[in-house]
Amino acid sequence: MKSKFIYKNNLRMLVIGALILLQPQFIAAQSVEILDAKLQKSFFINKEFPGILHPSQQSKISFQIPGRVASVNVDIGDVVTQNQILAKLDDSEISAQLKQAKARFNLSKQILKRIKDLKIDGHVSDQQLDEANSEFLTAQSQLEYFQVKLDQTKLEAPYDGLIQGRFLDPGSVINGGAQILEIIDSRFVEAHVTLPMEYISKVELGQIFKFKVSNKIYDAILKRIAPMSSSGSNSKLAIFQFDKFITPGVVAKLQLQFEEQAAGVWVPLKSLSQSDQGLWSLYTLKSNVVTKDLVEIIYFDDNYAYVNGTISNGDKIILGGASKVVQGMVLDSK
């Protein structure tokens, strides 16, 4: 009798458990977050590409002629203006030669004038006039030559800029072409950004883009696109010019945004659960009953995904997805 009683009691417990499992599951609606689905015809993609800022111009400048460096008037970090004299060579020898050339020029000019006057009266021959004219032209050429040489003893700034490097000091004897200073353009900078080929068609020359530099936003114009990237990969080097000077060498992040035509809805990533055949599922609430919808991810960023599928406009999406609810669960609104 005792064993039969235990058997009947266990059977009763199994039946009660089964009935409990078959009953609809209820959960308070207030315990889950719900988002209304809003279908769109298109969406915007935001991409960020890092680049390095470079000066628009950068030159290592030198004297064209050999000589002894007499003075260097600037140092690293100095701001200079176009045509400012930055350094000089000892010009004593060239100055002396220039004085001699000036004297010879003035003498030949006077002689030529006298010969021409005498020629009018017929006192000199054509040959004498030709010789005087030749001497004058030679003296003039020599004067111009030494004037150029004197100018070459002065090293001038090719543009407004900053002194980036200084390589020699006064007293150094140099050959022509020896680097004296390095200067960078202080008016503009450029950002060199490597863009994958798939994005090249989405940008246009002359278009203005936003860049983020040290948490500040700047405008820059796309000036040119190089045929190949510096790395030689399947991408191109895009060069953007800023209208102001920013310290070269720092990272500038291109903020690229473009529109894609595709119907869908933005949903939080936490509302999605992986399903079969590359699809994803999310849960919506219809008449207080949890329904499972299958969707395809078109695009996603850090926290949201753009999806399309069986979801409709106005559906109430349950945030948290499978971690919060299961299909068929009834949400009690009380």
Residue 303, pLDDT score: 85
Task: Write the pLDDT tens digit of every residue in 174-215.
Answer: 998 899 999 999 888 999 999 988 888 888 999 999 999 988
CATH topology of domain 91-152: Helix Hairpins (1.10.287)
Say what the pLDDT of residue 292 is. Answer: 86
CATH class in words for 24-43+261-332? mainly beta
Mean residue pLDDT of the chain comes to 84
* CATH topology assigned to domain 47-57+187-258: Elongation Factor Tu (Ef-tu); domain 3 (2.40.30)
Q: Output the six-digit token pair for 300.
A: 């996603």
Assess contact for 246 and 213: CB atoms under 8 A.
yes
Per-residue pLDDT tens for 142-166? 999 999 999 999 999 999 999 999 9
pLDDT digits (tens, 9 = 90+) for 243-268: 888 889 899 999 998 888 899 998 88
Domain ranges of the chain: 24-43+261-332, 47-57+187-258, 64-89+154-186, 91-152
Q: Which of 314, 310, 315, 317 is nearest to 272 (CA)?
A: 317
Same fold, 24-43+261-332 and 91-152: no
pLDDT at residue 316 in the model: 85
User: Mean pLDDT across the stretch 296-316?
Assistant: 86
The class of domain 64-89+154-186 in CATH terms is mainly beta
Whether the per-residue pLDDT at 217 is higher than 90: the answer is yes
Residue 49 pLDDT more than 60? yes
Provide the percentage of residues in the chain whose pLDDT is more than 90.
Answer: 47
